[in-house]
Chain A
Amino acid sequence: MNHIEVESSHLDVLLVEDSPGDVRLTKEVFRDTNIDIHLHVAWDGVEAMAFLRREGKHVNAPRPDLILLDLNLPKMDGRVVLANIKADANLKSIPTVILTTSESEVDIVKSYRLQANCYLSKPVQLEAFENLVKSINDFWLTKVKLPQQRQGG
């Protein structure tokens, strides 16, 4: 039994983000963009790893089709989360998109070194953010072909 083998009509996205405003905003914009997206939220890095590894209360968590990862997170930093994901044979094929307010060159370079699939900065204007979410949806959730996902646990 799992969520993938059925021709599931929806996509699962894991949003790792500690700001409730950002979480809500992202939910709102995704809802307006693609009704078929299930947005799951991990509020810090530790929870993100628990979700991905189906530990604790996340034992029934779906394997996400896309991870949206903020860099500055409580408990476990987003950069560490990224490194853990890319070091995990089970998880590394999940596209991981950095979505952060940081425009620092250091963060950008570091993220790509850690094999982030792409790095996006959150735009300041609502409209620009909406366009960005549309782009994520169009590209990562619609156009990109991903390898056959392995059955998890």
Chain B
Amino acid sequence: MCKRRLFSDVAQLHIGIMPLERIQNLGYDPGNASAKVAEAPNSADEALRHSEEKYRMLLDEIQDYAIFMLDPQGVVASWNAGAERIKGYKADEIVGHNFSVFFRSEDIKRGMPEELLRITATNGRHEFQGMRVRKDGSRFLASIIFIALRDRAGNLRGFSEISRDLSESKESAAKYRGLLEAAPDAMVVVNQSGEIVLLNVQAEKQFGYRRDELIGQKVKNIIPQGFAERLIADGTRTAAEALAQQIGTGIELTGRRKNGSEFPIEIMLSPLESPEGILVTAAIRDITTRKKTDAHVLELNRSNEELSQFAYVASHDLQEPLRMVASFTELLARRYKGKLDSDADEFIGFAVDGARRMQRLIQDLLAYSRVATRGNDLVHTSSEAALRRALMNLRGAIEESGALVTHDPLPTAMADERQLIQVFQNLIGNAIKYQNPGVPRIHISAARNADKKWTFSVQDNGLGIEPQYFEKIFVIFQRLHKRDEFSGTGIGLAICKRIVERHGGTISVESQLGHGSTFTFDLAGTEGKS
């Protein structure tokens, strides 16, 4: 950061001011100073006095820094052009007054001016950033260095203050401000005391303040909780460590606008090392919209969940009364067939058939909803073993039809084995069922696709499907044939689709009427073939 240069200048100046014991001669106390000078009227002293005057002139002319002396009680003893320009007092208006007038009333109440002098006297030097008050009452953030001035004997003779108005730090701040303004997010730069040093126009807009209303204010005013606390050093960590723990992670907090309204924000912190200490740049994003979207997604998931639960419970509870209808119409049919008239036989027949079909529909609906509610985790699964199991379950149909089922070596895939068996079983079962006269030939293969998934194919030589039905056949309870041609509710492919989608894949069909069909579906793979 260019900022670093600011105070290396000050440091050089500071060196230039030495030796300390001479500095008092630059001070206000003319009696004391002139007495000293008068005591040493030799040429060496003359030369010294001359050089001190040069320093004094130099200091007086410095515009960018307020440089002035205080006596041990904090009474202003000297004043330079920079001090006048920055603080707004002329030398004769301020010299002789206590320096506490530069502080905010709340700081004075806290005893800050005395405390500063005490610390400086103890440590010899004290550097900090703080809010200062100009003659006209306006405030500004200053970077300040206090130096205790002691004579050779070590007696405290006073203090020097070298300070700079940070809000006007020219090149560096301007450059940094330019950067901030270019950022899409609201940006706020905060010092270790939790005070706002810099902000961009997006931050003004977001929080509804004008810039000068925020500069120098506690960041707590706009982010009441969770930010300032994160910057503070404590017994177990330094400020740098405290900050390091927060860097780079989005922290969700609440922002407060000037009008008191609150909104969700996400902040990203990054440190900005400067000679004034570590500053923290916070990129602040209004996440109201995202939060709403999140809430919608959550709500959608919940209602999906509820719906599938509903389907399950409804179909389960429907089974009970239906069991009565089906059982008693069957009993009726069994005991009274031929004992009533032919109309009665026919009516009972329809009732029995209707009840049976409804039972199948409900069972299929239950099976369909169980894909989601009773699914197991996806684990490494041998698809070849799953296929063997499916073929075993189908052995009645295979023997009856004389179907020839062949397959390539099949890979290990990420799957719920029970569901993979069901997919194979439904697809191969369909291939056997929807057949031309002749021997059903079915071949199962797998190939790695571009997404590194495994694409499985179940190819048959059956009836085939017209292209306009390629999508429709996967919809629940959609059938292409009349009930007396082929039995079934139209659930098998819908279940396959649901299972494959639960596995993160897709299922589709390619077919030519009369020339068989190829169903393909993909599953996330694992390395190698099983």
Chain A interface (Cβ < 8 Å from any Cβ of B)? 19, 21-22, 25, 28, 101, 122, 124-127, 129
Q: With A and B bound together, what is the CA distance between A127 and B323 in angstroms?
A: 11
Question: Which residue of the partner chain, among B319, B327, B363, contacts A126 with CB atoms under 8 Å?
Answer: B327
Question: Which residue of the partner chain, among A25, A28, A122, A125, contacts B359 with CB atoms under 8 Å?
Answer: A125
Q: With A and B bound together, what is the CA distance between A123 and B363 in angstroms?
A: 12
- The answer to whether B344 has its CB under 8 Å from any CB of chain A is no
Interface centre among B319, B323, B327, B331 (most CB of A within 10 A): B327
Set of chain B residues within 8 Å of A22, measured between Cβ atoms? 324
- The answer to whether B282 has its CB under 8 Å from any CB of chain A is no
- The answer to whether B326 has its CB under 8 Å from any CB of chain A is yes
Known contacts A124-B359, A125-B359; is-contact A25 B320 (Cβ 8 Å) = no
- The answer to whether B328 has its CB under 8 Å from any CB of chain A is yes
Q: With A and B bound together, what is the CA distance between A21 and B321 in angstroms?
A: 9
Q: With A and B bound together, what is the CA distance between A92 and B331 in angstroms?
A: 36
Set of chain A residues within 8 Å of B330, measured between Cβ atoms? 126-127
A28–B324 CB distance below 8 A:
no
The size class of the interface chain B forms with chain A is 10 to 19
Set of chain A residues within 8 Å of B323, measured between Cβ atoms? 101, 122, 124
Known contacts A101-B319, A101-B320; is-contact A125 B326 (Cβ 8 Å) = yes
Q: With A and B bound together, what is the CA distance between A116 and B285 in angstroms?
A: 61
Interface residues in B282-330 (C-beta closer than 8 Å to A): 319-320, 322-324, 326-328, 330
A-B contact count, CB below 8 Å? Answer: 28
Q: With A and B bound together, what is the CA distance between A19 and B320 in angstroms?
A: 10
Cβ contacts A to B, 6 pairs, < 8 Å? A21-B327, A25-B324, A28-B331, A122-B323, A124-B319, A125-B359
B322 nearest CB neighbor, chain A only: A124
B328–A25 CB distance below 8 A:
yes
A124–B328 CB distance below 8 A:
no
Interchain nearest-CB distance for A104 vs B (Å): 10
Interface centre among B322, B326, B331 (most CB of A within 10 A): B331
Interchain nearest-CB distance for A74 vs B (Å): 16
B327–A25 CB distance below 8 A:
yes
Chain B interface (Cβ < 8 Å from any Cβ of A)? 319-320, 322-324, 326-328, 330-331, 359, 363
Set of chain B residues within 8 Å of A101, measured between Cβ atoms? 319-320, 323
B331–A126 CB distance below 8 A:
yes
Q: With A and B bound together, what is the CA distance between A22 and B320 in angstroms?
A: 10
Set of chain B residues within 8 Å of A28, measured between Cβ atoms? 331
Set of chain B residues within 8 Å of A25, measured between Cβ atoms? 324, 327-328, 331
**4 further A-B pairs in the complex, CB-CB below 8 A; given A25-B327, A101-B320, A124-B319:** A21-B324, A21-B328, A25-B331, A101-B323
Set of chain B residues within 8 Å of A129, measured between Cβ atoms? 327
B363–A124 CB distance below 8 A:
yes
Interchain nearest-CB distance for B115 vs A (Å): 68
Known contacts A28-B331, A101-B319; is-contact A126 B326 (Cβ 8 Å) = yes
Q: With A and B bound together, what is the CA distance between A129 and B319 in angstroms?
A: 14
Q: With A and B bound together, what is the CA distance between A124 and B363 in angstroms?
A: 9
Return the 4 tightest CB-CB contacts between A and B, nearest first: A21-B324, A126-B327, A126-B330, A25-B327
A104 nearest CB neighbor, chain B only: B316
Q: With A and B bound together, what is the CA distance between A25 and B326 in angstroms?
A: 11
Q: With A and B bound together, what is the CA distance between A101 and B320 in angstroms?
A: 8
Q: With A and B bound together, what is the CA distance between A25 and B325 in angstroms?
A: 11
Q: With A and B bound together, what is the CA distance between A91 and B322 in angstroms?
A: 35
Interchain nearest-CB distance for B359 vs A (Å): 6
Q: With A and B bound together, what is the CA distance between A19 and B330 in angstroms?
A: 19
Q: With A and B bound together, what is the CA distance between A122 and B324 in angstroms?
A: 12
Set of chain A residues within 8 Å of B324, measured between Cβ atoms? 19, 21-22, 25
Q: With A and B bound together, what is the CA distance between A55 and B331 in angstroms?
A: 36
B324 nearest CB neighbor, chain A only: A21
Interchain nearest-CB distance for B232 vs A (Å): 51
Interchain nearest-CB distance for B23 vs A (Å): 87
A127 nearest CB neighbor, chain B only: B330
Set of chain B residues within 8 Å of A125, measured between Cβ atoms? 326, 359
Interface centre among A19, A21, A127, A129 (most CB of B within 10 A): A21
Interface centre among B319, B322, B323, B326 (most CB of A within 10 A): B323
Set of chain B residues within 8 Å of A122, measured between Cβ atoms? 323
Q: With A and B bound together, what is the CA distance between A146 and B84 in angstroms?
A: 111
Q: With A and B bound together, what is the CA distance between A97 and B315 in angstroms?
A: 26
B326–A124 CB distance below 8 A:
yes
Interchain nearest-CB distance for A122 vs B (Å): 7
Set of chain A residues within 8 Å of B326, measured between Cβ atoms? 124-126
Interchain nearest-CB distance for B192 vs A (Å): 57
Set of chain B residues within 8 Å of A124, measured between Cβ atoms? 319, 322-323, 326, 359, 363
Q: With A and B bound together, what is the CA distance between A122 and B330 in angstroms?
A: 16
Q: With A and B bound together, what is the CA distance between A21 and B328 in angstroms?
A: 9
A28 nearest CB neighbor, chain B only: B331
